Amino acid sequence: MKRKQEKERYDRLSFKTLDRQFQQEAIEGLSCSPLEAKALTEIVKEVYFPLLEEKSIENIRPGQIVVQAIDLNEPPGKPIKSSECQRVRR
């Protein structure tokens, strides 16, 4: 049987991604299962990537900051940890 060198190279390189590196760190450092490490990677992307990709951060003037605040539509008395938050530029 003839070796498919291009496919083998692609398969090897497909494992050399930042996602795979992060998952491997979670598996080794936090003793996560591969499934948990993959889920953790997706959660990190969901939470942090929108902030990193946001162009409005470039428009912050000196003295302004971006903070997480409880959404205006959240009812009073609701626990903070279960409340929806929004990023606010002040």
* Residue given tokens 């902030």 in the structure block: 51
pLDDT at position 8 is 73
- Classify burial at 36, counting beta carbons within 10 Å of its beta carbon; exposed 0-12, middle 13-18, buried 19 or more: middle
Please state the pTM of the whole predicted model.
0.50
pLDDT at position 35 is 94
Residue 88 carries which DSSP code?
E
Instruction: Report which of 8, 7, 37 is spatially closest to residue 20, judged by C-alpha positions.
Output: 37
pLDDT digits (tens, 9 = 90+) for 48-88: 777 666 655 566 777 877 778 888 888 888 888 888 888 77
- Structure confidence at residue 1 as a pLDDT band (50, 70, 90): low
Q: What average pLDDT does the chain have?
A: 80
